Amino acid sequence: MKKEIRKVLVINSGSSSLKYQLFDMTKGERLAKGLVERIGCGGPKDHTEALKQVVADLGNPKDIDAIGHRVLHGAEVFKDSVKMNVANMAKCKKLVKFGPLHMPANLGGIEACEKIFKGVPNVAVFDTAFHQTMPDCAAMYAIDPKYYKKMGIRKYGFHGTSHKFITQEAAKFLKKPLAKVNLVTCHLGNGSSLAAVKNGQCVDTSMGLTPLAGMVMGTRCGDIDAAAVLSIMEAEKLTPAEADTLLNKKSGLLALTGSSDCRDICAKADKGDKAAELALEMLAYRVAFYIGGYNTVIGGADAIVMTGGIGENSKEVRERIVRRLGALGIKLDKKANNVRGQTAVISTKDSKIPVVIIPTNEELAIAQDTVRVLGKM
Ligand code: AMP
């Protein structure tokens, strides 16, 4: 008989930090969470040492049944989460080129678990997997197809675990079968992306080959004319690595206002700061613009769903977005919008499409997927 999977450890292994959460899946309850920082730069020397610290923090548990890992990129190889083994690790290692910063750390976390939790199954949950149902017309770039064939250059999308989780939660909330639900899901945080979900499946998303595309984000520029980047590189004599840092780490809200934190920017805008005001309107404009497009793509949404640090918490940003959706017959209920971090409908009863906040929980989603994948085997 198959052993019941009760305790699932979820690992989010980054280049210099390792976040973990432990769940009791019989109750869907979180038992512990923590963070090990400064890996390889003053703290533990590598991910194995970091994991030893996690084991100690958890009091040397002997009853962990499975481990779920967040992995950045599954490319076209992994369309769903998988149980790790030698063959799948080899396939993952070939995908490091798609995430040279994150992938080695993600895979290092898995290898560390294989060493320390001997015999406990590891499941990789990919940020890209939910978006693998996108049709080619949404996923391909209009460049010579040889770059797709040789290098895999196409749109992959990210935050898939979150978009999938809120899609499932929204279907339950709307009392619709998952296979029939049409949504625009908005994950708005420090990194932000939208997804168009038709019949429960992703048909488009705003991030691209990398997480740089789409929304105006904390430190990323989002959509930009590629020729603008070439002009800046030429004028400032930037290497590709320097341009990457400029666009990913020194752009977005940070470049526009001096802060990447939405709370600071809302406070500044409240005091009449023009740069903060413009940044918030740029952010809201782009979200509303994509919502309009995605509503067309899916043939009409059953709901617009908002999540992430900003989507769940910032009534100011939500109001700025919904204000721009009048053409879709969407109306904000200002009183209902005065909420934080909880499932709530923030549109009026006569709004043509409801706008719903659904808090995301990527770690729980990874734990649930771990149980599902192992249960299938
Ligand atoms: P995340 O990356 O999902 O953790 O989201 C981080 C973003 O959420 C930051 O820009 C925060 O400023 C924003 N955020 C968190 N709490 C609030 C809040 N109460 N009001 C406005 N923004 C918030």
Over residues 130-180, the pLDDT tens digits come to: 999 999 999 999 999 999 999 999 999 999 999 999 999 999 999 999 999
Let me know: does 304 contact 356? Beta carbons within 8 Å: yes
Do 208 and 350 lie in one domain? The reply is yes
With CA atoms as reference, report the closest residue to 19 among 364, 369, 363: 363
Do 121 and 209 lie in one domain? The reply is no
CA 263 / ligand 1 centre spacing (Å)? 7
Do 111 and 250 lie in one domain? The reply is no
Q: Is residue 115 part of a domain?
A: yes
Let me know: does 319 contact 338? Beta carbons within 8 Å: no
CA 346 / ligand 1 centre spacing (Å)? 18
**Considering all CA atoms of the chain, what is the largest pairwise distance in Å, rounded to the nearest integer?**
66
Q: Is residue 207 part of a domain?
A: yes
Q: Is residue 24 part of a domain?
A: yes
Say which range, 37-41, 271-275, 280-284, has the weakest mean pLDDT: 37-41
CA 330 / ligand 1 centre spacing (Å)? 24
pLDDT at 231: 98
Mean per-residue pLDDT of the chain: 96
pLDDT at 118 over 70: yes
Could you give the CA distance from residue 125 to residue 361 in angstroms, rounded to a whole number?
Answer: 14
The structure tokens 């409908």 sit at: 345
3-state class (DSSP) for residue 236? helix
Check if 261 is active-site.
Answer: no
Could you give the CA distance from residue 36 to residue 16 in angstroms, rounded to a whole number?
Answer: 9
CA angle 102, 108, 112 (to 5 degrees): 150
pLDDT tens, residue by residue, 335-345: 999 999 999 99
Q: Is residue 271 part of a domain?
A: yes
Q: Please give the average per-residue pLDDT across 4-24, as a whole number.
A: 94
Atom of ligand 1 nearest to the CA of 311: 8
Question: How many domains does the chain fold into?
Answer: 2
pLDDT at 2: 63
Atom of ligand 1 nearest to the CA of 317: 21
pLDDT at 4 over 90: no
pLDDT at 158: 97
Q: Is residue 187 part of a domain?
A: yes
At 27, list the tokens: 């109750």
Q: What percent of the chain has pLDDT over 70?
A: 99
Do 220 and 338 lie in one domain? The reply is yes
Residue 346: give the domain boundaries. 175-362
Burial (CB count within 10 angstroms: exposed 0-12, middle 13-18, buried 19+), residue 226: exposed
Could you give the CA distance from residue 292 to residue 270 in angstroms, rounded to a whole number?
Answer: 27
Do 317 and 217 lie in one domain? The reply is yes
CA angle 156, 38, 248 (to 5 degrees): 35
Q: What percent of the chain has pLDDT over 90?
A: 96
Do 220 and 356 lie in one domain? The reply is yes
pLDDT band at residue 376 using 50, 70 and 90 as cut-offs: confident
User: Where residue 180 sits, what CATH number does that domain have?
Assistant: 3.30.420.40
Helix extents (H) in the chain: 47-57, 86-93, 103-116, 136-139, 146-151, 160-174, 226-236, 240-249, 252-257, 262-270, 274-297, 308-313, 315-322, 362-376
Q: Please choose from 12, 19, 215, 310 the residue to mutate so as to test ligand 1's pocket, defined by most ligand atoms within 8 A of CB.
A: 310
Q: Is residue 238 part of a domain?
A: yes
Q: Please give the average per-residue pLDDT across 26-51, as a whole number.
A: 92
With CA atoms as reference, report the closest residue to 328 among 305, 356, 309, 355: 355
**Residues across the chain:** 377
3-state class (DSSP) for residue 208? coil
Let me know: does 51 contact 108? Beta carbons within 8 Å: no
pLDDT at 110 over 70: yes
Backbone angles phi and psi of 51, in degrees to 5: -70, -35
353: CB partners within 8 A, 6+ apart? 295, 300, 301, 302, 303, 304, 328, 329, 330, 347
Q: Which helix (H) or strand (E) holds 339?
A: none
CB of 262 closer than 6 A to ligand 1?
yes
Tell me which DSSP letter residue 358 carries. Answer: -
Instruction: Give the closest residue (by CA) to ligand 1 atom 23.
Output: 310
CA 261 / ligand 1 centre spacing (Å)? 7
CA angle 204, 364, 126 (to 5 degrees): 45
Kindly report the pTM of this predicted structure. Answer: 0.96
Atom of ligand 1 nearest to the CA of 340: 19
Catalytic residue among 63, 65, 80, 127: 127
205: CB partners within 8 A, 6+ apart? 131, 134, 155, 157, 158, 159, 163, 193, 194, 195, 196, 214
pLDDT tens, residue by residue, 234-252: 999 999 999 999 999 999 9
Do 181 and 268 lie in one domain? The reply is yes
pLDDT tens, residue by residue, 203-220: 999 999 999 999 999 999
3-state class (DSSP) for residue 71? strand
Q: Is residue 257 part of a domain?
A: yes
Question: HSE on the CB side for 152, CA within 13 Å?
Answer: 14
pLDDT at 54 over 90: yes
pLDDT at 15: 85
- At which of 106, 126, 146 does a domain end? 126
Do 116 and 183 lie in one domain? The reply is no
Do 105 and 192 lie in one domain? The reply is no
Q: Is residue 320 part of a domain?
A: yes
